[in-house]
Amino acid sequence: MVANDLRQRIRDKSVLIFSLLVPLALMGVLNLSFGGFDSGSATLKPAVVIANSEDSGPLGSALLEAVDSLPTMDVTVRRAAAGDVRQETKDTGADLGIILPADFTTALSTGRAFSVQIIEGDAAGLETGVLVSVVDGLLQQFSAGTVTATAGEIAGLPHGVLGGLAQQAAAGTPALTLSEGQASAEQLSLKGTLVAGQTGLFLLFTVGFGVLGLLAEREEGTLARLQSTPVAAGTIISAKALVGFILGVAATTVLLTAGSVLFGVSFGSPAVVALLVLAVAAAGTSLTFIVARLVRSAEQANIAQSIVAMLLGIAGGAFFPVEASGFLATLMDLNPIAAFIRGLGITAGGGGVPDIATPLAIMLGFAAVATLASRLLPDRGVRA
C-alpha cells in the first residue's frame, strides 16, 4: 500500500512543484533580496579629512600620518589654515576636520592639558565615526605621556627626564595586543535561517499529500473497498501517514542539501541533522491525523493544511525572526518549525546529539500530543 501510494505521488507533478521547486525558488528570491545583509562586514568608502597642524614637534605629524595611512579605509588628508578648516570641511563635503594646537607635542611631553578640535562633516556617516574613533584612540595613546610625566613629577624625577619619558610612553606600543575571534553563537546565518525556514515551512505542505490521498480515496469510494478487506484497523491510516512521512523526509533532505550547495551554508554533522529531519517530519505528519479527522473532502484538507502550515511557518521564523515575551514566547518555543531552525543552529555551531536534546524533545513531544489529540476528535469524514 505504501509503495503503491509513493509511486502515485512521485508521478504527481504537484508533489514535485510544492515540495521542491517552489521552496527552492523562494529560497533564491529571499537570498537575493536579503542575503546581502548577511555579509558580516561593511565596506567603508574613501574618506577626506581637512587638517591643520601648527605643531613644531613630531607627534602632530605622527597623528595625521597615522590617520592618512589607515589600513581599513582609504583616507585623504588635506592641509588647510586653522581658520579655514571648519568652513572647508562644510563646503567640500569632507568627512572630518582636525585642528591640532601649536603646542601639541610640547603639551604631551610636559604633561600639560591640551585640546584637539574635531569637526564632523555635514554628511557624517559610518566613515566619520570610524575616523573619530581612530583619532580618539591615538589621542588616548599619546595622552599616556601626560600620565607618565605627571607621575614622574610626583615621584620627584628631574624635569629633564620627564620629557623623554612622556615621549616614550606616547609613542610606545600597547602592553596588551588584542586579536578578534569568533565564538559559536548556535545561531544560523541569515542565509541559513532562510534555507531552514523555507524547508520547514514546505515540509508541512509535503507531508499533507498523504492525507490528501486518503481523502481522495474516500471521495472516490476506494477507501470503503479497502476497509472491507481483511486489513487490521488503523493500517490504512498508518500507511497514508507513512507516505507523507517518507515524502517529508526526502524533500527536507533534498532542500537542505541544495540550500547548502547553492547558498553556501553549512548545517553541521549530517548524522545529527538527520535526527532533526526525522523529528520535524514526525511532527509535521502528526498534524495530518488531525486534519484527516476534521475535514470531509480533499479540498477542505488542502485549505486546512495550508492554513496550519503558514501559521506554524511564519510563527516559527520561516521568513523572519519573531520576537515575543512571557507566555507567548513559551508557546512559540513549542512550535516544531522554530525548534527545527533552533536545532540546525546548534548543529551548525558544532553541536552534537546531546546538544539538540531540547529541540528534539519539543518536536517529538508535539508529534505525540498531536497524534493523541487526533484520536479524541470525532471523524467528520466518516459521518459525511
pLDDT (average), residues 230-258: 83
Surface-to-core class of residue 44, CB atoms within 10 Å of its CB (0-12 exposed, 13-18 middle, 19+ buried) = middle
- Cα 53 to Cα 363: distance, rounded to the nearest angstrom: 66
pLDDT on residue 40? 52
pLDDT in tens, 302-329: 788 888 888 888 888 888 777 767 777 7
pLDDT on residue 234? 65
pLDDT (average), residues 176-186: 50
pLDDT (average), residues 252-279: 92
Element (H or E) spanning 119, and its range?
Answer: strand 117-120
> In which band, very low, low, confident or very high, does the pLDDT at 295 lie, cut at 50, 70 and 90?
confident
pLDDT (average), residues 334-341: 92
pLDDT on residue 341? 92
- The answer to whether residues 47 and 215 touch, using CB atoms and an 8 Å cutoff, is no
pLDDT on residue 193? 87
Surface-to-core class of residue 183, CB atoms within 10 Å of its CB (0-12 exposed, 13-18 middle, 19+ buried) = exposed
Please choose, from the candidates 5, 2, 3, the residue with its C-alpha nearest in 3D space to the C-alpha of residue 216: 5
- Cα 310 to Cα 197: distance, rounded to the nearest angstrom: 11
- Provide the mean pLDDT of the chain: 80
The separation between the first and the last C-alpha atoms of the chain, rounded to the nearest angstrom, is 25
Give the 3-state secondary structure of residue 312: helix
Place of cell 592618512: 68
- The answer to whether residues 47 and 55 touch, using CB atoms and an 8 Å cutoff, is no
Please choose, from the candidates 307, 294, 303, the residue with its C-alpha nearest in 3D space to the C-alpha of residue 384: 294
Q: Give the gyration radius of the chain's Cα atoms.
A: 33
> In which band, very low, low, confident or very high, does the pLDDT at 31 lie, cut at 50, 70 and 90?
confident
- Cα 129 to Cα 144: distance, rounded to the nearest angstrom: 23
- Cα 115 to Cα 291: distance, rounded to the nearest angstrom: 74
Instruction: Specify whether domain 47-171 bears CATH 3.40.1710.
Output: yes
pLDDT in tens, 346-363: 998 888 999 999 999 999
pLDDT (average), residues 169-186: 50
pLDDT on residue 42? 55
How many other C-beta atoms lie within 10 A of the C-beta of residue 294?
16
- Cα 94 to Cα 89: distance, rounded to the nearest angstrom: 5
pLDDT on residue 283? 93
Give the 3-state secondary structure of residue 302: helix
- Cα 147 to Cα 111: distance, rounded to the nearest angstrom: 7
Q: Inform me whether the pLDDT recorded for 259 exceeds 60.
A: yes
- The answer to whether residues 67 and 118 touch, using CB atoms and an 8 Å cutoff, is no
- Cα 378 to Cα 121: distance, rounded to the nearest angstrom: 71
Q: Inform me whether the pLDDT recorded for 270 exceeds 70.
A: yes
pLDDT (average), residues 67-81: 87
- Cα 373 to Cα 281: distance, rounded to the nearest angstrom: 18
How many helices (H) and strands (E) are present in the chain, helices listed first? 18, 4
pLDDT on residue 77? 92
pLDDT (average), residues 168-197: 63
Spatial neighbors of 186 by CB under 8 A, at least 6 apart, are 345, 346, 348, 349, 351
Spans of all domains in the chain: 2-35+188-383, 47-171
pLDDT on residue 251? 92
Bridge-based pairing of strands 47-53 and 75-79 is parallel
What type of residue sits at position 309? Answer: A
> In which band, very low, low, confident or very high, does the pLDDT at 162 lie, cut at 50, 70 and 90?
low
Compare 302 and 34 and report the one with higher pLDDT: 302
Q: Choose the weakest-confidence range: 47-56, 72-81, 175-184, 367-376.
A: 175-184
> In which band, very low, low, confident or very high, does the pLDDT at 145 lie, cut at 50, 70 and 90?
low
Q: Inform me whether the pLDDT recorded for 123 exceeds 80.
A: no
Element (H or E) spanning 98, and its range?
Answer: strand 96-100
Give the 3-state secondary structure of residue 234: coil
Q: Choose the weakest-confidence range: 20-34, 45-59, 197-211, 217-231.
A: 217-231
pLDDT on residue 7? 81
CA distances from 126 to 140, 267, 350, 355 (A): 21, 33, 34, 39
Q: Which three cell numbers stand for residue 84?
A: 579655514
Compare 136 and 216 and report the one with higher pLDDT: 136
